Amino acid sequence: MNVEPGNALLTVTEVRKAFGGVQAVADCSLSVGAGEVCGLIGPNGAGKSTVVGLVSGSVRPDGGRVWFDGVDVTTWRPNQRARRGLLRTFQISQAWPRLTVIENVMVAAPGTDGESLLAVLFRRPAMLRKERERWQSAEAILEQFGLIQLRDSPAGILSGGQKRLLELARITMGGAKLALLDEPMAGISPALRTAVLDQVRSLQASGVAFLVVEHDLGVVAELCSRVVVMALGRVLSVGTLEELRQRQDVVDAYLGVSNQ
């Protein structure tokens, strides 16, 4: 399967991954179109987080292929995928705790011009100008995400919800075309839930596509136009949440449990 299948932004074909003797993902194929918000649901242990790892590149597949933005990225490292616009957030929101909030956003800026000490020594004016531009974009993004008053605080002091917003700010700075959100509502206060939902919607409006792993079906219903259901490492079904509610195997595997 080395021909690019379809013209979706992300296409995953028949990926599998085993950890030791456990087949975390047995067979997963899915796609996400440009600007689409696609849900990924399933009971615990279905392999959803492994799929996020496989797509972002932190987990190497045992087989299958990952296509992103018209290129086969199966063998690409996570930083190469990120540079192309494939970015992720984590179930437990992650930040660089000892960097300030604005530094957390600035450091995610695309471009490789910060990667040389020689540039620091010999192209200082250009380097400093670039850094000022990054500061300004980062400030604008913090403004957008309501984090501007925390600009100079170390990210380690943020609450779970604030860190989630910071994650979204970071992937915005990183030029995300597709963002993988691994349980974006985990560990967030109700007040910040709405903020996170609003931010995801406005990013979608600006053209960012999402693959959202989420347990809360209310959130899935609100955000996702299409939902992929996984169970035991396999894709069980794909459709709108309404369609999926009609399917007995899906209800048995997952929906029934949370609808009781």
Partner 1 sequence: MSFFIQAIGFGLVTAAVLALAGVGLTLQFGVTNYANFAYGDMMTLGVYLTWVFFAIAHLTFVLALLLALVCMAAICVATAEVIMRPFVLRGSPPLILLIVTFGVSLILNSIILAIWGAGSEAFQLPGTQPLDLGPFLLTPLQLLIIGTSVAAMFVVHLLLTRTSMGKRMRAVSDNRELARVSGISPTPVIRATWALTGVLATLGGVALAVDASQFSPGLGEGFLFAIFAVVILGGVGKPYGAMLGALVVGVVTEVIGLWIPQYKLDVAFVVLIVVLLFRPEGLIRSAGKA
Give the tokens for residue 218: 């209310």
Provide the minimum distance between the beta carbon of 89 and partner 1 in the complex, in angstroms, as a whole number.
9
Provide the minimum distance between the beta carbon of 163 and partner 1 in the complex, in angstroms, as a whole number.
7
Provide the minimum distance between the beta carbon of 1 and partner 1 in the complex, in angstroms, as a whole number.
25
Q: Which is nearer to partner 1, 16 or 170 (CB)?
A: 170
Provide the minimum distance between the beta carbon of 202 and partner 1 in the complex, in angstroms, as a whole number.
21
Whether 214 contacts 220, CB under 8 Å: yes
Q: Which is nearer to partner 1, 77 or 201 (CB)?
A: 77
Q: Which is nearer to partner 1, 43 or 175 (CB)?
A: 175
Which amino acid is it at 171? I
Beta bridge partners of 40: 213, 228
Chain centroid to CA 9: how far?
A: 14
Give the tokens for residue 149: 């008053």
Provide the minimum distance between the beta carbon of 108 and partner 1 in the complex, in angstroms, as a whole number.
5
Dihedral angle over CA of 61, 185, 176, 207, nearest 10: 120
Give φ, ψ of 218 to 5 degrees: -60, -45
Provide the minimum distance between the beta carbon of 61 and partner 1 in the complex, in angstroms, as a whole number.
16
Q: Which is nearer to partner 1, 123 or 193 (CB)?
A: 123
State the number of CA atoms in the 13 A half-sphere of 161 facing the CB.
12
Provide the minimum distance between the beta carbon of 195 and partner 1 in the complex, in angstroms, as a whole number.
19
Which residues lie closer than 8 Å to 251 by C-beta, 6 or more apart?
245, 259
Q: Which is nearer to partner 1, 212 or 229 (CB)?
A: 212
Neighbours of 132 (CB within 10 A): 9
Whether 121 contacts 185, CB under 8 Å: no
Q: Which is nearer to partner 1, 103 or 214 (CB)?
A: 103
Interacting residue ranges for partner 1, rule: CB under 8 A: 56-58, 77-80, 82-83, 87-88, 90, 92-99, 103, 106-110, 112-117, 119-120, 127-128, 130-131, 134, 154-157, 163, 170, 174
Whether 253 contacts 243, CB under 8 Å: no
Long-range CB pairs of 240-246 (<8 Å, 24+ gap) are 241/39, 241/217
Q: Which is nearer to partner 1, 49 or 93 (CB)?
A: 93
Look at residues 144, 152, 190 and name the one whose alpha carbon lies nearest to residue 170. 144
